[in-house]
Chains A and B, each alone.
Chain A
């Protein structure tokens, strides 16, 4: 078969190279999107751990007060609905309860 003229062959050659480049670009874009998702998840986890640490610190600050319960003062403990001390002290202090 004789060689195709340049204007006609050019379309096929361009098509082949575009296919190759498109495959690479799509692949890199997919991997890039995956890496971006991983980065987002890492920052979410970091936020979560930061929040936990913050909550832990404020819990430690409020704990001595909460521990000074009526039993410490030699009195009988009043019957209340069972909210844990730390949670209650958090809410009393206007803070959110620590996330689990």
Chain B
């Protein structure tokens, strides 16, 4: 039932996540400014990066769908966006926890990074009602793809705009000068990103397998019913 390569990727994801957690708590030094609270960084930022990457990947898959007309690309795009929204929820919650501990507020409205991420998140929340309000499968796939492409293009534009904006309180992690992370922190951060990417791919493949099998089952059921009708 499970798609090819799911097991090794799942195993790699679990191992890398465990290694990442070990590095976070036993290897990476405490931040001189924030202390222990900075450990949230290793889960919050990789989740945000992978969520935004997933949105863009969903857009690229949607382009493939419109170019080839193959509906499996639409399904891939949908699952990528769905998973990115779940990670996005995690980003908002962990970010709020970090903000409360670090700045004393759950949310800061005048910070471009926070507000822009919220805008992207809310934009993608519209994807569900749009997709499921259309009954015709072809139209549903086409409209969803168009949305995924437009919103996917918005993500890097939004990211660039935020980079150009002046930071108020939220720090910039990825910069052209390589950021200000020391060696151990940088290594831990990179392992965390790798773990998050592997986790994303594993869950994406898992959901894709479940959806494909469900669709195949539905087809089989319809075919059997038709056969029974013709035999009767």
Hey, which bits of chain A sit against chain B, CB under 8 A?
A: 1, 3-4, 6, 8-10, 12-13, 15-17, 19-20, 23-24, 27-28, 31, 34-35, 38-39, 41-42, 45, 48-49, 52, 99-100
Contacts and interface: CB of A to CB of B under 8 A. Distances in A.
Contact of B100 (A6, A12, A34, A35): A12
A4 B37 contact: yes
B37 A3 contact: yes
B224 A49 contact: yes
Contacts, number: 91
Interface in B122-136: none
Contacts of A100: 228-229, 231-232
B17 to A, nearest CB: 9
A10 B39 CA distance: 10
B199 to A, nearest CB: 7
Contact of B47 (A10, A20, A45): A20
Given A10-B36, A100-B229, A16 B97 contact: yes
A99 B92 CA distance: 53
A38 B199 CA distance: 23
Nearest to B94: A16
A10 B89 CA distance: 22
Contact of A20 (B83, B90, B229): B90
Contacts of B83: 27
Interface of B: 1, 31, 33-37, 39-40, 43-44, 47, 83, 86-87, 89-90, 93-94, 97-98, 100-104, 199, 203, 206-207, 209-210, 213-214, 217, 220-221, 224, 228-229, 231-232
Nearest to B2: A35
A23 B97 contact: no
B229 to A, nearest CB: 7
B19 to A, nearest CB: 15
A27 B86 contact: yes
A34 B103 CA distance: 41
Given A12-B37, A45-B221, A100-B232, 18 more contacts: A4-B36, A4-B37, A4-B101, A9-B101, A16-B94, A19-B90, A19-B97, A23-B87, A23-B90, A24-B199, A31-B210, A34-B214, A35-B1, A38-B217, A39-B1, A45-B217, A45-B224, A100-B229
From A19, A28, A52, name the one whose CB has the most chain B CB atoms within 10 angstroms.
A19
A1 B203 contact: no
Nearest to B39: A13
From B33, B40, B83, B87, name the one whose CB has the most chain A CB atoms within 10 angstroms.
B40
A15 to B, nearest CB: 5
Contacts of B101: 4, 8-9, 12
B217 A3 contact: no
A15 B217 contact: no
Nearest to B206: A31
A42 B217 CA distance: 7
Nearest to A42: B217
B203 A27 contact: yes
Contacts of A3: 31, 33-37
Nearest to B44: A16
